[in-house]
Structure 1
Amino acid sequence: MAASLAPGGSNAASHSPRTSSIPDTPAPALSDHLLTPASISSVEVYGATNTRKSLLDHLFRPLVENPGPTTTLGELLNRINRASEKLVRLDIFKQEGYGVFISDARDRPSGAAGLHPERTELDVSFRVKEKSRLVLSAGTDFGNAEGSAYTNAVLRNVFGGAESLSVNASTGTRTRSAYNAVFSAPLNGNPDLRVGVEGLRSSTQKPWASHEEQLAGGSLRLAWLAGKMGDSHALAYSGVWRQLTGLAAGASPTVRADAGDSLKSSITHTFTRDRRDSPTLPQRGHLFRTVSELAGWGPLHGDVSFFKSEAEVAGASSLLSTARFHKSGTPITVGGSLRLGLLYPLAAGFSFGGPALPSRINDRFQLGGPTDVRGFKLGGLGPHDGSDAVGGDVFAAGSVNMMLPLPRTGPASPLRIQLFANGGRLVALRNEGRENENGGPDSNLALDSSAVLRGMKSAVGELASELPSLAAGVGLVYAHPVARFELNFSLPIIRREGEQVRKGLQDIHHE
């Protein structure tokens, strides 16, 4: 199948693509050639059997419509390259078999219409192979203190416009059940601007806080790339019904006070700037990410209202002259990260100074665990009510590490030895004496705006006034292209009363 596009949107005659050759000319002559006036006579796509022509028109119509009198051959080649990159980013075509062919339209039979004798006229052909429309997968995961089994089905190019439908189901030792379905599609054929709709339902045990949480809801999401380097933005509205249930016999009063149903209606913005050379085993570059959520305020409804923000900065760098340190020449990499978070209770509706309820346990931050702060149990840092981790409203966490090559391995080996130190602090909002008999926050007592501000200042001051809880250790890292696996031995160095440590081996599975 050949989808064709000619000036004005009419179909051009199909022909076999011929690759143009650039003569072996001196650089100045080639440079002069790229400055000659040029236009594109037609664009054809071969192999897009299940793809709508309207989608291809959005990508390629700008190439053939209204060529300016000063448009040069070099500018057209850049436009063709950008259109080709967009075609690939639709993620519906295979890499193998993909090709772009450019030929001189003057090779057409004499009398062909639409050719301009004063300009170089080009015919452009794209040859593609579509990916399988249906992909099924199933498997098991072990790590992060949980074992689970999952099934996944992905339907690509559902209606011929690069839409995708993903359906997932999983069950495990901690996540009893989780189901979600996501439908997404590019807007106006732009792979860098996608809209998605998601529905989810899950049931998760949280033994660090003696309860089980059930979720059911959905979200509407708009994601786009911005800037020359492709910074990622995502804006989403979500409505989720949460039920805190299945309380253990020894559940603390704080957990019992938050048990039952709640409805969260929120808007979330996520920004990501990732300049690392690898997401699983970076050797250079940096990462900056922010997640900001506004719930229950203004036109948003629900029975929780707050502003919640989290920021992360991470970086990595390879030491100079690494061959001196190791025969293989594999880089020795040093890296670090810093995360900060704040949850600020707000009055519901449009009120700025009205009373605000303290945050709930299922909205607060939790800190600790093999993928968070190593050397501590899940939820092991921060405020506790008895043995239950009840979370906090302000936190800071950081880490430093050094990646060393294993003996007898080369630079391409995905295995590394890791030396690390990490720590963090998690603090709850002080409620000016409005606490229950066990010292935990009383979720039934509202705070006025001045009390919230004083409590937040006190929490931030406490966060910065003392040393963080700290652990250090050594481990083995395996960087798979899809995920990163770690096996670490951790030794807690600083801990606070009530915090729960995890001395010894911890396994980690990073998606």
Structure 2
Amino acid sequence: MGTVHARSLDPLPMQGPELGVQADDIEAPEIEQEPKQEVLENKNVVVQRVHIDGLGRTQDDFLSYEIAEVFRAKDLIDVMRRSHEARQKLLRLGIFRKVEVVIDTSRGEGALPNGLDVTFEVIEHRRLTGSYNTMVGNNEGSMVLGLKLPNMLGRAEKLTFQFSYGTKETSYGLSFFKPQPGQFERNISVNAYKVTGQFPWSSLRETDRGISTELSFPLWKTSQTLKWEAVWRELCSLGQTASFAIRQESGHSLKSSLSHAMVIDTRNSSILPRKGGLLKIHQELAGYTGGDARFLKEDFEIQLNRTLILDSVISASLWGGLLLSIGDKSTCIADRFYLGGPTSIRGFSMYSMGPQSDGKTKTFISKVEIWCSTLKPLLTSLASGDFLGGEAYWAGGLHLYTPLPFRPGRGGFGDLFRTHFFLNAGNLCNLNYGEGPQAHLKKLAECIRWSYGLGIVLRLGNIARVELNYCIPMGVQSGDRICDGFQFGAGIRFL
């Protein structure tokens, strides 16, 4: 699907705080007024004082950035709006369990006839909190245990320890997060982690031990992230049936890389958007800050969504990537791209298309007389080797989302479901550096895998979604593993 081979779930390193309250859950501020003052909606008012009650270890000067806009309000409606926005900002910091707003007329010495006092009543999180939850990755699930020290130094710093046990990955890590006062989107995080994953499509087990530092900041309408990462990777085969190509990849390697990511996201939802678009560009350069892995990696993602008649939505996506080796050493299997599965090219098995090693049982199968036609798909699957990933890929998807027929459960549980019709296509290949760019493009345009079908989509909040599709794979190449018929998928990122 165009992701790094060792990061199908990406539970670590962690980025930013988890918010306990979503925007949809935020209630309008409570307003208390005294009848003795004439405070009208269209009358000019002055916010004279802003109080924050309930502070313990939180520093006052840090919160002044979040509530500064309240003082600029010109009338009562403006006061309500700015107070509501300030409440959202305070909750976004992840240091308060509860924030309420009270707007009252000014009292006491120096009170103006049109003066208002705004009070934020807050309840801080405990010094140490724990959590237990489940997480959905790309067609896998995991159990996550965490310990968190929110607001460590009084300015929204957070120290988090997280342990994750999943169907394919086990990981644990320690993360420190620090936002810039007044600009929560501008933050820095430092992470240390260990991730162990199994990749049966490649007969491979990988263990990563690493540290990383990330700087995130907004720039115009984009979100930018700069990252340095050093990771010690240990690769080994899953069993004695692993091919010789996988055994050659086994061993230890050290990757030190600098990367940059830019995101423009105007979608109204990241799971089932009805409008808006997404542009994501990522570059990674390894080898110039140490380590024995040397490569330049570029990949992108584009998505456009548009609402049609009868509450239907058309969505188009395009992914692509290129991995260039620097020097004489070939690229590592852990850095290549992978395609196939219910989250990318539907109708194919998970990451089971493209370059692969020689079949592990071809010689045996050629000597077996097939008496029953139902054994053919099984034997074909056994005949394919281990999938090695590719150095260049592209994938495109076109979807038509519609409500359930006859709209059962409209306005409630039924709105979590959508039917969809899809068309997916893509290709994956390795590069021959002596052929040139035109030959590479021609190679990507040959032997295109594609599929079409229909299914049902269930949105799990704003976190993930699951799909049950009936798929018809086309353009199948020798060695590809297919899933003709019903296919189930769960994840957070879909083509």
The TM-score normalised by the length of structure 2 is 0.77
Q: Deviations over 1:39-75 (max 9, x none)?
A: x6543211233322232244457988xxxxxx88479
Distance 1:366 1:405 in 2: 32
Counterpart of 2:247 in structure 1 is 256
The TM-score normalised by the length of structure 1 is 0.75
Q: Aligned with 2:124: secondary structure?
A: coil
Checking the alignment, whether the CA contact within 8 Å between 1:143 and 1:507 is kept in structure 2 is no
Counterpart of 2:297 in structure 1 is 308
Displacement of 1:501 in angstroms is: 1.4
Residues 403/409 of structure 1: CA separation in 2 closer, same or farther (3 Å cut): farther
1:294 aligns to 2:285 (yes or no): yes
Checking the alignment, whether the CA contact within 8 Å between 1:395 and 1:424 is kept in structure 2 is yes
Q: Which amino acid aligns with 1:98?
A: E
1:461 aligns to 2:464 (yes or no): no
Displacement of 1:214 in angstroms is: 0.8
Checking the alignment, whether the CA contact within 8 Å between 2:233 and 2:252 is kept in structure 1 is yes
Distance 2:38 2:446 in 1: 67
1:215 aligns to 2:222 (yes or no): no
Checking the alignment, whether the CA contact within 8 Å between 2:349 and 2:483 is kept in structure 1 is yes
Residues 307/400 of structure 1: CA separation in 2 closer, same or farther (3 Å cut): same
User: Bigger shift: 422-431 or 188-197?
Assistant: 188-197
Q: Which amino acid aligns with 2:321?
A: G
Which structure has more relative contact order (CA 8 Å, sep 6+)? It is: 2
Distance 1:146 1:23 in 2: 56
Q: Aligned with 1:430: secondary structure?
A: coil
Q: Deviations over 1:197-239 (max 9, x none)?
A: 1111021111111221110011111112343x6x322211110
Bigger CA radius of gyration = 1
Counterpart of 1:403 in structure 2 is 401
Counterpart of 2:354 in structure 1 is 382
Q: Aligned with 2:152: secondary structure?
A: coil
Identity percentage of aligned residues: 31
The two structures, once aligned, show a CA RMSD in angstroms of 3.1
Q: Aligned with 1:301: secondary structure?
A: strand
1:202 aligns to 2:205 (yes or no): no
Question: What are the residue-to-residue correspondences of 1:30-429 with 2, within 5 Å?
Answer: 30=43, 33=44, 41-60=48-67, 73=74, 83-94=86-97, 97-99=99-101, 101=103, 103-104=105-106, 107-109=107-109, 123-131=117-125, 134-139=128-133, 146=140, 148-175=142-169, 177-227=170-220, 231-297=222-288, 300-320=289-309, 322=310, 331-346=311-326, 355-386=327-358, 387-406=385-404, 407=406, 408-412=408-412, 413-429=415-431
Distance 1:137 1:24 in 2: 46
Q: Deviations over 1:468-492 (max 9, x none)?
A: 2011222221112132111222221
Q: Deviations over 1:61-100 (max 9, x none)?
A: 7988xxxxxx8847995876765553232132346x5215
User: Bigger shift: 213-222 or 489-498?
Assistant: 489-498
Distance 1:488 1:278 in 2: 22
Q: Which amino acid aligns with 1:494?
A: G
Distance 2:254 2:226 in 1: 20
Distance 1:124 1:58 in 2: 15
Distance 1:283 1:142 in 2: 22
Q: Aligned with 1:98: secondary structure?
A: strand
Checking the alignment, whether the CA contact within 8 Å between 2:174 and 2:192 is kept in structure 1 is yes
Checking the alignment, whether the CA contact within 8 Å between 2:264 and 2:280 is kept in structure 1 is yes
Displacement of 1:165 in angstroms is: 2.5
Distance 2:341 2:114 in 1: 63
Distance 2:436 2:331 in 1: 13
Q: Which amino acid aligns with 2:465?
A: R
Residues 85/411 of structure 1: CA separation in 2 closer, same or farther (3 Å cut): closer
Residues 141/123 of structure 1: CA separation in 2 closer, same or farther (3 Å cut): closer
Checking the alignment, whether the CA contact within 8 Å between 1:219 and 1:239 is kept in structure 2 is yes
Q: Which amino acid aligns with 2:267?
A: R
Residues 401/460 of structure 1: CA separation in 2 closer, same or farther (3 Å cut): same
Distance 1:61 1:160 in 2: 19
Q: Deviations over 1:236-289 (max 9, x none)?
A: 111001111135323333323322111111112222222222222212221211
Residues 217/456 of structure 1: CA separation in 2 closer, same or farther (3 Å cut): farther
Residues 286/132 of structure 1: CA separation in 2 closer, same or farther (3 Å cut): farther
Q: Which amino acid aligns with 1:152?
A: G
Residues 269/22 of structure 1: CA separation in 2 closer, same or farther (3 Å cut): farther
Q: Which amino acid aligns with 2:93?
A: L
Q: Aligned with 1:129: secondary structure?
A: strand
Checking the alignment, whether the CA contact within 8 Å between 2:51 and 2:119 is kept in structure 1 is yes
Counterpart of 1:483 in structure 2 is 464
- Tell me, which stretches of 5 or more residues in structure 1 are unaligned? 1-16, 65-70, 323-330, 347-354, 432-450
Q: Which amino acid aligns with 1:149?
A: M
Displacement of 1:428 in angstroms is: 0.6
- Tell me, which stretches of 5 or more residues in structure 2 are unaligned? 1-30, 359-384
Q: Which amino acid aligns with 2:92?
A: R
Displacement of 1:358 in angstroms is: 2.2
Q: Which amino acid aligns with 2:293?
A: V
Counterpart of 2:478 in structure 1 is 497
